[in-house]
Chain A
């Protein structure tokens, strides 16, 4: 058994301090140590994108990082976007455009899109499709996700 390492990390604006086994994946840390279960795990080999979170405001696969590497960094998960009562405009757009079905891949897609829309506020359809091509969704066929992103882009600009 390896030694435990201290991790001090800011998640959704809140500071957390934990001792972790260095092999603990960041995805497992967020879900099972911090209990932020909105970040989902679909493949643990970096293909499906369900576990995407913002790491220092960049989208990363949390299954391809160790929790210990988050020491001193800032993470935003889907729980850091909006609340059920006050959804983030991107979340609202997903609801209005029916951009989700089972909802399992959705948090990862939202976290991929937040920085995308920041750097590309008026994307066209092919840019949107390319932006989410690292996120697998088995339910929607992506069409309504694309619609949702267009809607969100309008919402965020007004």
Chain B
């Protein structure tokens, strides 16, 4: 069998994207289509006293203006996307899902108050300005550390406090471990909010065909099937009456997994009401308020070690900012809890999580999803411990890695899938050694660093490790069909947002069926093609959908061989699949093309044998026992201008181990993009809210997504520890690039400025913030 998996194969989807012919949601155009715009709140927290839409309704070209009142009984909150974990004792969770339109109280700036539908987006925006709304502002809950104060205003007044959830997880006995430790280090660590910043904003087009009673929805979602199911339920339709298409999506990064956004209910709803197609395209300013965000957490963290740097235990109490509602449950902070132990053998662990409501846009996972915070906490604690104990930062990590023989390794807590967290496999030391070699760690520490320092330059090195729990269930499925043309069609339920699924999935099939990758046509994200599944998130596409495709390819291969054996009158063992043909080994003339075989499998006359199915087609599903844990090490060398605090990354090295690599070109691309986002998280991207909950940088001019000038060349190395949990041996990699970057930045910055003895305990930073930290340090002296 020719090896296709693992090859650098050019992407099938590229010609369409490169010529501008790929269909994105905003490219959908339907005759008679109307355009929607929303009136959004200027205030973060306010009572809605009254709303006057009369002028808007009268504006020529306006077709409908809808408020919560106008929706009557059809106004319903939610539905929640993820329910709280039932398995942990004493868990508190107050479910307060999002609402379609503000009814009585605004809970975050930019929350939608009214929907306008008009003949053009221009007119719709004119009409939004015509609406008179009387909002009575009240104090806002912004700072998560003040949110639980008894005097804090309440985001949800039916609750006693702004506590959304409380959950304690523990392993072993941290207090006892602490008591016998040689060193205990305690720090407060703060991480602030950022945006996903996909280049394509969200958008929805809904088209109701009254004659066929069928609704078609194009949606920029990472999860078309659950969206289809939710829309059907909300609109009282059967699932077969609704088709959701997630066409080409201009980047997801998590927030397009959130469901259901208010717009995802309202646009289909109004399209059915009006009997006309309706399009809503989120603009960039709206995106900063209406699309979910992530990262704010405050940790009081502690690590207990022996004097030779062995970790005895880690403990942290932390606050997580949920924003105004909590439909996504505890996914993010559970990920944090799962990652505060990093890649290390931590025998004792205590984690007390409090989730709080604030008057800010809601929080759902963004690339990394709670893991960057967790890794930042553990890697910072280790760095500080290393400094205190006089151990090299690389050495302290080596000493604490989980031993390769210890896998599968039980963490004894539950993870985001509400299942026990088990690290399936791993071999961490070689990965770290490779990264250290690639960046020249020893040489830098011994020679280069001191030499540069002597020259008066401020160049620092950093090296951190991380794990990433990936590829969570429940399941995905795929259907593979050999067509009479000899081409292969693959349909799966996940959506795709640039991950190269059209190619990597095709590679899996091509290898099994002996066809060219370009002859495998993959369809993703269209519920009319395949309608079982969940979505592309949590670095699970290649793991879960990939293995479903693999299973289904094996089933089709079996059918091909069985039929070909009969046709060619040769035993199955002697058959080869190559170049779109089934051949009898060593007899070149005895062959049949897959296309011909497909025709024979679907005869027009005669009878199909009992017990067999027509066609060369199979559907299979894959659900992993539990998630696969990827591992990686990032290292960087950076230079700081101590006068301006501007930073230049000189070198950046990534060594990852995400199991079997399907397509290294695509994998490296994922890593590059992840690192770029991590650099944003570390040094550029911060959503700044004032004390009234006003977002002060709701534009791409002030929210600083890194450009080609800030992102360095990234050198990528690979190790492959196959996951035993799936036949392909894959682990996810989508988020790996992003996770450790803030921790790495902090370490390298401290290393570059040794005289200042800085301790970086917050992210994101900026030159201005670094300057302030140095000033504070000098003031303390």
A139 and B18 contact, CB distance less than 8 A: no
A83 and B19 contact, CB distance less than 8 A: yes
Binding-face segment, A3-11, A35-43, A54-62:
A35-43
Interface of A is mostly: loop
Q: Is B15 an interface residue (CB 8 A)?
A: yes
The one of B11, B16, B250 in contact with A98, judged by C-beta atoms closer than 8 angstroms, is B11
Could you list 17 further interchain pairs (A-B, Cβ under 8 angstroms) beyond the known A1-B60, A40-B199, A106-B18? A35-B29, A37-B20, A42-B284, A43-B700, A78-B18, A84-B19, A95-B10, A95-B15, A98-B666, A128-B708, A130-B709, A133-B707, A136-B707, A137-B708, A138-B199, A139-B498, A145-B708
Q: Is A81 an interface residue (CB 8 A)?
A: yes
The one of B17, B26, B497, B671 in contact with A100, judged by C-beta atoms closer than 8 angstroms, is B17
A98 to chain B, nearest CB (A): 5
For residue A39, which residues in chain B have a CB less than 8 angstroms away from its CB?
20
Query: What's the interface size class on A, roughly?
Result: 35 or more
A96 to chain B, nearest CB (A): 6
Q: Is B544 an interface residue (CB 8 A)?
A: no
Q: Is B658 an interface residue (CB 8 A)?
A: no
Complex CA–CA separation, A103 to B15 (angstroms): 10
A106 and B705 contact, CB distance less than 8 A: no
A100 and B18 contact, CB distance less than 8 A: yes
Tell me which residues from 53 to 92 in chain A have a Cβ below 8 Å from any Cβ of chain B: 77-79, 81-84, 87, 91
Q: Is A47 an interface residue (CB 8 A)?
A: yes
Binding-face segment, B175-183, B522-530, B581-589, B673-681:
B673-681
A-B contact pairs, 26 of them (CB 8 A): A1-B60, A44-B284, A45-B699, A47-B699, A47-B700, A50-B199, A81-B19, A83-B19, A84-B19, A95-B10, A98-B666, A102-B200, A102-B252, A132-B707, A135-B707, A136-B197, A138-B705, A139-B669, A139-B673, A140-B669, A141-B669, A141-B674, A141-B675, A142-B707, A143-B711, A145-B708
Q: Taking CB as reference atom, which chain A residue is nearest B669? A: A98
A104 and B200 contact, CB distance less than 8 A: yes
A47 and B199 contact, CB distance less than 8 A: no
Interface of B is mostly: loop
A87 and B19 contact, CB distance less than 8 A: yes
Q: Taking CB as reference atom, which chain B residue is nearest A96? A: B10
Tell me which residues from 1 to 48 in chain A have a Cβ below 8 Å from any Cβ of chain B: 1, 21, 23-24, 31-32, 35-45, 47-48
The chain A residues found within 8 Å of chain B, CB to CB, are: 1, 21, 23-24, 31-32, 35-45, 47-48, 50, 77-79, 81-84, 87, 91, 94-96, 98, 100-107, 110, 125, 128-130, 132-146
For residue B10, which residues in chain A have a CB less than 8 angstroms away from its CB?
95-96, 98
A141 and B248 contact, CB distance less than 8 A: no
A125 to chain B, nearest CB (A): 8
A42 and B708 contact, CB distance less than 8 A: no
Q: Is B665 an interface residue (CB 8 A)?
A: yes
Q: Is B21 an interface residue (CB 8 A)?
A: yes
The one of A23, A107, A129, A139 in contact with B122, judged by C-beta atoms closer than 8 angstroms, is A23
B701 and A38 contact, CB distance less than 8 A: no
For residue B675, which residues in chain A have a CB less than 8 angstroms away from its CB?
141
A38 and B708 contact, CB distance less than 8 A: no
For residue A141, which residues in chain B have a CB less than 8 angstroms away from its CB?
669, 671-676, 711, 714, 737
Complex CA–CA separation, A126 to B409 (angstroms): 46
Q: Taking CB as reference atom, which chain B residue is nearest A38? A: B20
For residue A50, which residues in chain B have a CB less than 8 angstroms away from its CB?
199
The 8 closest A-B pairs by CB, nearest first: A38-B20, A102-B498, A104-B250, A103-B17, A141-B672, A101-B498, A141-B676, A37-B27
- Interface flags, B682-710, vs A, CB<8A=1, else 0: 00000000000000000111000101110
B172 to chain A, nearest CB (A): 39
Q: Is B372 an interface residue (CB 8 A)?
A: no
For residue B13, which residues in chain A have a CB less than 8 angstroms away from its CB?
103
B711 and A142 contact, CB distance less than 8 A: yes
B29 and A142 contact, CB distance less than 8 A: no
For residue A101, which residues in chain B have a CB less than 8 angstroms away from its CB?
251, 498-500, 669-670, 673
A57 to chain B, nearest CB (A): 18
Complex CA–CA separation, A110 to B709 (angstroms): 18
B683 to chain A, nearest CB (A): 15
Query: What's the interface size class on B, roughly?
Result: 35 or more
Q: Is B253 an interface residue (CB 8 A)?
A: yes
B26 and A41 contact, CB distance less than 8 A: yes
For residue A137, which residues in chain B have a CB less than 8 angstroms away from its CB?
199, 708
Complex CA–CA separation, A147 to B709 (angstroms): 14
B68 to chain A, nearest CB (A): 28
B264 to chain A, nearest CB (A): 20
For residue B700, which residues in chain A have a CB less than 8 angstroms away from its CB?
42-43, 45, 47-48, 136
A110 and B18 contact, CB distance less than 8 A: yes
B199 and A102 contact, CB distance less than 8 A: yes
Complex CA–CA separation, A83 to B16 (angstroms): 9
For residue A135, which residues in chain B have a CB less than 8 angstroms away from its CB?
707-708
Of the listed residues A36, A81, A138, A145, the one surrounded by the most CB atoms of chain B closer than 10 A to its CB is A138
Known A103-B250, A138-B677; judge A87-B18 contact (CB<8 A).
yes
B19 and A42 contact, CB distance less than 8 A: no
Q: Taking CB as reference atom, which chain B residue is nearest A21? A: B122
A140 and B18 contact, CB distance less than 8 A: no
B735 to chain A, nearest CB (A): 13
Complex CA–CA separation, A42 to B703 (angstroms): 14
A136 and B19 contact, CB distance less than 8 A: no
For residue A104, which residues in chain B have a CB less than 8 angstroms away from its CB?
24, 198-200, 248, 250-251, 498
A23 to chain B, nearest CB (A): 7
Q: Taking CB as reference atom, which chain A residue is nearest B499? A: A101
B21 and A84 contact, CB distance less than 8 A: yes
A78 and B20 contact, CB distance less than 8 A: yes
Q: Is B283 an interface residue (CB 8 A)?
A: yes
For residue B27, which residues in chain A have a CB less than 8 angstroms away from its CB?
31, 37
Q: Is B7 an interface residue (CB 8 A)?
A: no
Complex CA–CA separation, A15 to B389 (angstroms): 74
Complex CA–CA separation, A6 to B252 (angstroms): 39
The one of B21, B201, B283, B705 in contact with A136, judged by C-beta atoms closer than 8 angstroms, is B705
The one of B20, B251, B284, B705 in contact with A102, judged by C-beta atoms closer than 8 angstroms, is B251
